[in-house]
Chain A
């Protein structure tokens, strides 16, 4: 019996859809109609990424059954360009930098559309209400609000766009695909004959298991092709970001170490795979006691035999005699601080597909290759992992990164890639996987929860004398980036200050918790909470203004860091603090006058500073960029994955400026391990600085060849006319293509056992102010304004830099006030809270440009620096408002209220 098709009208076009009546509209649009512009972030109405219009009203398509959508007008992002307000919104989003990674963009646009139809010039409150149901993890929402409010200016035509010189607001060059919904994210594409893969994950944090004979299961489910287990891995059943630590199994071999650990995977038709209930699997569990507390884990049974006392890694720094310095200090302060697991909560869950490829014309099996298309921040690391698990040489692996719907460090580890590769390799069929939100949250890495005990001292004039820091970082069940965190934290934990005597130690402790990995800042944001709180205490004790105290101790060019590195250039912290000073006084005065009025709300203003080493800690992290000139024109081969931060645009601006052509004349070949060189991973705020310098060098290398051929001088003018390169107006004859290659590896010196060396070639510096009020009866915190001064060396593109600052601040707000991942309890986006549009206040960006000579046109990085000072600035402001010291993040209302009561005692 075949049911009659449902009549669905999408963007004015009729469709007859044969699917179950309770099928989610998202699945119908994406899978049945191929309209993948509507994104799926949670399937639970929590994120709004799938917002469409149903009879003109916004709805989460994931909550709408096909039967209820039938007969109503459905509007999706694919229809926007044909709608006057839709097109205006798209243009405004591009011009204002309102789309970063682009995964929430279709939902944002659709949510804003009915507002503009009803109210062409909405105020900010109306715009907030319209998009209050759509989560964005990249932008901090401010530019989205700007774009919605400005959309009426974009009704008729494009805004005049800059040519894209360095320093100009070139709209992101990969933006059009994001506002039209055509960018292909991990879940948006796969060969039509691809099988589905669904991992089976442990509900237990620590358990032994046996998986019996799966033949009856396969027989019961026609279309289920295979149950993959540890025994099926052709190569090494382990992955991990360190070459010598491949400790996380693709499929566990009889023992799970955290809730979410993968024990097997079902592969087959989608229907067959989705019909299997886990209770049908011949699984038996022996649940074991779980170590969930890092202090207890130090004395507990070992998670991995290799790591004594469950200490995965220890980093330390020693300079001078910190204990003696503290003992001799006029003022000292001490505190203990605790932070929580923080989930990356990129709106795009992990997804992709893999296929085995036999070279054209057949060829021996030994020449078969594997191709993996997936969402990632680190294609070359993925390539290593896939080669490892398949046991094949690296040149037989191709990684094609999808558009990346947010990463923030969470997509530096592999996710779907190894198991997809194994499945496609063994089954000789393309295989795809799309993780659900609960699966993504249960399985992926987190920000390390930290327990920090810190002490600091200063002399009678408020000059810092000594700093001691002991950090216990819960690194979870597997290594991931734990050693990197343990390595970076001790080097940066004293902050961007002159501290003569330092003793810092950070340890990454293995527990039966989710693997803690890389998350925007690699452990430094946690440390900054402790460090900045101590400065407030010392400033108060010494009777100094909190800003002036920081200024007095700020690192300046010519100073040596605690690592013994003399900073010769681009130390812009003093400039940041001086830029903030007028705002500091104005905001403090305003808070004081508002407090004078009484009431249950107290106002306060806080400050925090940060530094951040750009690139890997004391390790090589090169990038190679390539640009060619041939009959097709100029082509930029750029292997740096743009995860929304804007590197594709930034690197193009750098390359174009160095070459002497406008960006629009340059073709792009973007990140594909077969087509581009290794640019390193998109992490550590390194792409602008490292890949940017490589791009600049590549451009200069090509320019030199061009000028040589044209016999032209250094300042010759290049231009492209009808595809022909002209030098000073004369066409350049080209017998063979020319190529420029740039490679840059920031100069560092590995750290010794005491943390001495040159860990980073350059540092970003920043100071932020937070102005807020606290409800003294409820403990709720209302942010009113953040003022962020960042030394970025040189602003390549102000829109992108501001976008990073806004987004980093939004994540800092989440860390400070609401984000707390608890395995098994907050594995969704309604129990795990990330900031909504109403939680990010007005942000003022003050860009300081203290040029870095090594950087491209003087530029450094901004991705992580944006986040680091926000939480400590908020806690500083809470203290200013209430007298309460926040020692536990997130500062949920009940914790703030408890701290207020403690302060009054």
Chain B
């Protein structure tokens, strides 16, 4: 149900300080997201491909991620050329909007670029170090705790649901498009929710016993190396450059 995330290779990006990665990723993806020109998008895409290469991700993983993203852009390709209006362009039987195609293309470029950068810079850190990095970057303590605890129990809860679903299937439940199916799924999920609620209570007790007082401690103190400072500083400068290019162009 929850895919194995990313095999933790030893690439430079996997090892780098997550704070630097988050900040530089936010800068670059921010500029790309705000841009309305192809040139910025293409700059971003080149950078994204470079980072992906550096992250040494399995190509299969990257392709699967991109397929998921392009599900939505495919929807835009189906609708925008027909509905966008503006200059008409006749392609064989159909008349499409030139601006509509241009818009769909721009969105596709930006979406893929942002996802690749996010994949290379953020998803290369384990969730636990991201939680700690966010705290050090000034994200509220409670939010970081929510993030870490929620991640901790996602798999436990998913497995709980799967067990219930399996038990239902063993008793002859076949999901179809009918009320019985929806009622069954509702009950299975509600049962999962009730169990999670009660588990939360027990975990809360365990935390109280060990003196939990809402504080968020980090065991990992990582300092960015000189190489990392230069590298991620460079990426951030590049983002600034792209922003200037966008404003001028």
A and B held together in a complex = no
A interface residues, Cβ below 8 angstroms from B = none
B interface residues, Cβ below 8 angstroms from A = none
